[in-house]
Amino acid sequence: MTEHRTDVIQGTLDLLILKMLSAAPLHGYGITKRIEQISQGVFKVNPGSLLTALKRMERAGLLDSEWRNTEKSRRAKYYRLTKTGRRQLEVEAEDWDRRARAVGRLLKAEA
Amino acid sequence: MSIWRQLTHGLRSLVRRETADQEIRDEVAEFLDEAAAELVSRGMPVEDAKRAVRLKYGTAQGAREDVRSFGWEATVTSVLTDLRYGMRLLRRTPGFTTVAVLTLGLGIGSATAIYSAVRPVLFEPLPYPYPDQILSITDRNEDGAPLPVTFGTYRELVERSRSFQALSAFKPWQPVATGQGEPERLEGQRVSAAFFEVLGVTPALGRGFDSTDDRPGGPDVVILSHGLWRRLFGGDSTIIGRHMQLDGAAFRVLGIMPPEFEHLPRHPAHAWALLQYDASLPSFDGREWGHHLDVVGRVQAGIDADAAGFDLHGIAADPIPERPRPAWASMDQGIFVRPLRDAESATARPLLIALLGAVTLLLVIACVNVTNLLLTRGVRRRGEMAVRAALGAASPRLLRQLVTEGLLLAALGGTVGLAFAWFGVGALVSLSPPELPRVESITLNAAAFAFAAGVTGFVGIIAGAVPVVVIVTGGNLRRGLLRASRRTTGGHMAARGALVVAQVGLASVLLAGAGLLLRSMQRLSDVSAGLDPSDMVVMQVQWAAHGSDANAVHRFYTQSLAAVRELPGVVSAALTSQLPLSGDLDMYSVQSEDDAQLESGAPAYRYAVSPDYFATMRIPIVRGRSLPLTANPASPSVVVSESLARIAFDGRDPIGQRVHVGRPDLPAYTVVGVVGDVKQASLDAEAAEAAYVIPGEWYFADAARWLVVRTEGNAAMLIPFIKQAIWSVDSDQPVVRIATMEDLVVRSESQRRFALIALEAFALMAMVLAAIGLYGVVAGSVNERWHEIGVRSALGASRRRLLAHVIRQGMILTAVGILIGLAAAAIASETMVTLLFGVSRVDPVTYVGVALLLMAATGVATWIPAGRAAAIDPAHTLRAE
Task: Classify residue B438 as left (phi > 0), alpha (psi -120 to 50) or beta.
Answer: left
Distance spanning both ends of chain A, measured CA to CA: 30
Residue from A12, A19, A24 nearest A100 by CA:
A12
* DSSP notation for B824-865: HHHHHGGGGGGG--SS-TT-HHHHHHHHHHHHHHHHHHHHHH
Closest CA of chain A from B31, distance in Å: 5
Facing residue for B58 by CB, picked from A46, A52, A76 = A46
Which residues from B are below 8 Å from A58, CB to CB? Answer: 9
Cα B174–B175–B179 angle (5° rounding)? 145
How far apart CA B859 and CA B865 sit, in angstroms, is 11
How far apart CA B570 and CA B134 sit, in angstroms, is 50
8 Å CB contact of B30 and A75: yes
Which residues in B3-19 are b (16+ Cβ under 10 Å) and which e?
eeeeeebbeebbeeeee
Classify residue B420 by burial, with Cβ atoms within 10 Å: 0-12, 13-18, 19+. Answer: buried
Residues 6+ apart with CB under 8 A from B130: B200, B298
B297 within 8 A of B308, measured Cβ to Cβ: yes
Question: What residues of chain A have any CB closer than 8 angstroms to a CB in chain B?
Answer: 27-30, 32-33, 44, 46-52, 55-56, 58-61, 70, 72, 74-77
- The strand ranges marked E within B86-183 are 134-140, 146-147, 164-173, 176-178
How far apart CA B409 and CA B87 sit, in angstroms, is 9
Facing residue for A52 by CB, picked from B26, B56, B66 = B66
B591 within 8 A of B600, measured Cβ to Cβ: yes
Residue from B830, B867, B880 nearest B357 by CA:
B830
Which residues from A are below 8 Å from B58, CB to CB? Answer: 46-48
Bridge pairing between strands B602-608 and B690-693: parallel
* DSSP notation for B345-414: HTTTHHHHHHHHHHHHHHHHHHHHHHHHHHHHHHHHTHHHHHHHHHTT--HHHHHHHHHHHHHHHHHHHH
CB atoms within 10 A of CB B402: 24
DSSP B122: I
Which residues from A are below 8 Å from B70, CB to CB? Answer: 52, 55-56
Which residues from A are below 8 Å from B26, CB to CB? Answer: 75, 77
B715 within 8 A of B572, measured Cβ to Cβ: no
Question: What residues of chain B have any CB closer than 8 angstroms to a CB in chain A?
Answer: 1-2, 5-6, 9, 23-24, 26-28, 30-35, 37-38, 56-58, 62-67, 70-71
Which residues from A are below 8 Å from B1, CB to CB? Answer: 61
How far apart CA B566 and CA B574 sit, in angstroms, is 13
| B116 backbone dihedrals φ, ψ, rounded to 5° | -60, -35
| Residue B878 confidence (pLDDT) | 66
Facing residue for A28 by CB, picked from B31, B62, B66 = B31
Which residues from B are below 8 Å from A44, CB to CB? Answer: 56
8 Å CB contact of B63 and A48: yes
Which residues from B are below 8 Å from A30, CB to CB? Answer: 34
Classify residue A8 by burial, with Cβ atoms within 10 Å: 0-12, 13-18, 19+. Answer: buried
Cα dihedral B148, B679, B836, B436, rounded to 10, equals -50
Classify residue B272 by burial, with Cβ atoms within 10 Å: 0-12, 13-18, 19+. Answer: buried
8 Å CB contact of A33 and B38: yes
8 Å CB contact of B67 and A72: no
Residues 6+ apart with CB under 8 A from B573: B561, B564, B565, B612, B616, B707, B708, B709, B710
* DSSP notation for B632-697: -TTS-EEEEEHHHHHHHSTTS--TT-EEEES-TTSPPEEEEEEE----SS-TT-----EEEE-GGG
| Residue B2 confidence (pLDDT) | 66
- Nearest chain B residue to A58 by CA distance is B5
How far apart CA B372 and CA B502 sit, in angstroms, is 11
Which residues from B are below 8 Å from A66, CB to CB? Answer: none
Closest CA of chain B from A33, distance in Å: 9
Interface with chain B: mutation pick from A7, A27, A29, highest number of B CBs within 10 Å: A29
Facing residue for A61 by CB, picked from B1, B56, B65 = B1
8 Å CB contact of B35 and A55: no
pLDDT at A1 exceeding the cut of 50 = no
8 Å CB contact of A29 and B24: no
| Residue B541 confidence (pLDDT) | 84
Strand, helix or coil at B487? coil
Facing residue for B63 by CB, picked from A51, A58, A70 = A51
Cα-based distances in Å from B33 to A26, B39, B707: 16, 10, 103
Which residues from B are below 8 Å from A70, CB to CB? Answer: 34
Q: Which residues pair with B711 in a beta bridge?
A: B570
Q: H or E stretch including B26? A: helix B17-41
Residue from A16, A9, A10, A8 nearest A79 by CA:
A16
| Residue B576 confidence (pLDDT) | 95
CB atoms within 10 A of CB B482: 11
How far apart CA B145 and CA B346 sit, in angstroms, is 13
- Nearest chain A residue to B62 by CA distance is A48
Task: Classify residue B739 as left (phi > 0), alpha (psi -120 to 50) or beta.
Answer: beta
8 Å CB contact of B67 and A52: yes
CB atoms within 10 A of CB A30: 19
- Nearest chain B residue to A74 by CA distance is B30
Facing residue for A55 by CB, picked from B1, B62, B70 = B70
Closest CA of chain B from A108, distance in Å: 35
SS3 sequence of B288-322: HHCCCEEEEEEECCCCCHHHHHHHHHHHHCCCCCC
* DSSP notation for B537-603: EEEEEE---TT--HHHHHHHHHHHHHHHHHSTTEEEEEEESS-TTTT---EEEEEETT---GGG-EE
Facing residue for A51 by CB, picked from B2, B9, B28 = B28
Bridge pairing between strands B536-542 and B271-274: unpaired
Q: pLDDT tens digit string along B455-473?
A: 888 888 887 777 777 666 5
Interface with chain A: mutation pick from B28, B33, B54, B57, highest number of A CBs within 10 Å: B57
B296 within 8 A of B128, measured Cβ to Cβ: no
Facing residue for B67 by CB, picked from A27, A51, A60 = A51
Q: What is the mean pLDDT of each run of 10 residues along chain B (881 residues)?
A: 73 77 85 86 86 84 81 79 85 85 90 87 83 89 78 93 92 79 79 93 93 92 94 90 87 94 82 92 76 89 88 90 85 87 79 86 87 76 69 67 83 90 86 73 81 86 77 54 46 75 88 88 80 89 68 88 92 93 81 63 87 93 92 91 86 88 85 92 81 90 88 82 86 77 81 81 86 80 76 79 81 91 90 83 90 88 81 70 53
8 Å CB contact of A74 and B33: yes
Q: H or E stretch including B462? A: helix B446-473
CB atoms within 10 A of CB B354: 22
- Dihedral sign, Cα of residue B810, residue B812, residue B815, residue B816: negative
Interface with chain A: mutation pick from B30, B69, B72, highest number of A CBs within 10 Å: B30
8 Å CB contact of A51 and B37: no
- At B401, the amino acid letter reads Q
- At B424, the amino acid letter reads G
Which residues from A are below 8 Å from B52, CB to CB? Answer: none
| Residue B484 confidence (pLDDT) | 44
Q: pLDDT tens digit string along B791-839?
A: 887 887 777 787 888 888 888 888 999 999 999 999 988 888 888 888 8
- Dihedral sign, Cα of residue B356, residue B361, residue B367, residue B370: negative
Q: H or E stretch including A70? A: none
Which residues from B are below 8 Å from A59, CB to CB? Answer: 2, 5-6, 9, 71
How many contacts, defined by CB atoms under 8 Å, are there between A and B? 73
8 Å CB contact of B30 and A29: yes
DSSP A8: P
| Residue B598 confidence (pLDDT) | 46
Closest CA of chain B from A48, distance in Å: 4
Strand, helix or coil at B620? coil
B126 within 8 A of B393, measured Cβ to Cβ: no
Closest CA of chain A from B4, distance in Å: 9
Closest CA of chain B from A87, distance in Å: 16
Strand, helix or coil at B607? strand
Q: H or E stretch including B16? A: none
- Nearest chain B residue to A61 by CA distance is B2
